[in-house]
Amino acid sequence: MTDTILANATLILPGEVVQGAVRLSDGHIAQIDQGRAVPAGAIDCGGDMIMPGLIELHTDNLERHIQPRPKVDWPHASAIIAHDAELAGVGITTVFDAMRVGSIPSGKGRYLAYARGLASELLDLRARDALRISHFLHLRAEVCSETLVQEMAEFGPEDRVGIVSLMDHTPGQRQFRDISKLKAYVMGKNNLTEDEFAAHVANLKEMRDRLGDRHEAAAVAEARRYGAILASHDDTTAAHVDVSAAHGIRLAEFPTTVEAAQACRAHGIAVMMGAPNLIRGGSHSGNVAAATLAEMDLLDIVSSDYVPSALLMAAVMLGDLWDDMARGIATVTRAPADASGLPDRGRIEPGARADLIRVARIDGTPMVRETWVQGRRVA
């Protein structure tokens, strides 16, 4: 592989920002030099930022591609390839594709299993070198479901399951502690009557009481069998975080209150918040604002959640908020790499994977000009 030199760039290094050049060789970062010189054959970046490729730990974007409209099942290979290309284009070079495990195959509000089949198709495309970026699986284990144990048993250590998150969407707590917000969402999505919604809520609560503890224990055990990182989801109280810590969780997705975020910090659990929350100025579910946690020094990692392009924008916003661009970019590079057990990426330093992006700012808005994965330009 021919060496690539990215010169006259603003390099976002661990803990600092410098002007310089970086040389990529054999898929890795070989050398870093400071200064504005442009060696013969180098790419003149004209002062653009060169930063590590973004690392996305939780995105629903693949699900959006396989079901672009309600009840429309798009051909999965095409959906996966389009999803992969979209992420490369917005600077994401490593993704943990979120897939739900745990279904409710009965009743009007039913939903069916899909993760095993979709994961197999994704892993097959990866094996055939059809994808541009690095893909891992993030299994969202829905404890309030009927089939979680059976679905998780279908996965193993060979499936690149990097994260298992414990999801509990039982009405009346965590994300859905405000039943009115759940009501508006579910009734609109599933065209339920008032009586049908009430029956739906009662069914979910009964299911959680009957199966929830067993499902939670099974998900923790299966994550260990896969060799995956465990994450909590929507912790709301210090008691929730105490349970997460007892499970060995070290990553909290979207805690909903300051209390929960503070408890995470006390337990050494990294706090991840959604980029749309930060960009929009608050949570669409009425939970704590990401900016509030950032201002309180309680925000470690950012996820694009449901808008891939939001990841870079949020990191740059944090860099401006903190007056420390290296720190802001670390929330979408080094911090998620460390939290997910990938020490080979997420930083510009000799020996690291040559996963890099070139970013310009247009009236303050960041724009990805180029993306490299293991030294190969992919977007």
213 plus 298 within the same structural domain: yes
H or E segment to which residue 56 belongs: strand 54-59
* Statement to judge: residues 302 and 197 lie in one domain: yes
Tell me the C-alpha distance between 30 and 349, whole Å.
8
DSSP state of 38: -
| Rounded distance between C-alpha atoms, residue 100 and residue 108, angstroms | 19
Residues 276 and 365 both lie in one domain = no
CATH number of the domain that 44 lies in?
Answer: 2.30.40.10
The model's pTM is 0.91
User: Which tens digit of pLDDT belongs to each residue from 35-56?
Assistant: 999 999 999 999 999 999 999 9
Does 215 lie in the same domain as 101? yes
pLDDT in tens, 333-357: 999 999 999 999 999 999 999 999 9
Range(s) of the domain holding residue 241? 54-344
User: Is the domain of 261 the same as that of 335?
Assistant: yes
Query: Longest Cα pair distance anywhere in the chain, in angstroms?
Result: 73
d(CA 256, CA 186): 20
Confirm if 324 and 299 have CB atoms less than 8 A apart.
no
At residue 191 the predicted structure's pLDDT band, cuts being 50, 70 and 90, is: low
Q: In terms of domains, do 109 and 244 share one?
A: yes
Number of domains in the chain: 2
Distance CA 327, CA 17 (A): 10
CATH number of the domain bearing residue 334: 3.20.20.140
Looking at the structure, tell me whether residues 15 and 147 fall in a common domain.
no
Same domain, 25 and 163: no
Q: Per the structure block, which two tokens stand in for 70? A: 């309600």
Co-location of 210 and 94 in the same domain: yes
Residues 91 and 187 in one domain: yes
* 255 and 151 fall within a common domain: yes
| Cβ within 8 Å of residue 267, ≥6 positions away | 241, 242, 244, 245
Residues 112 and 17 in one domain: no
107: pLDDT confidence band, cut at 50, 70 and 90? low
Residue 145 has a pLDDT of: 86
d(CA 151, CA 134): 24
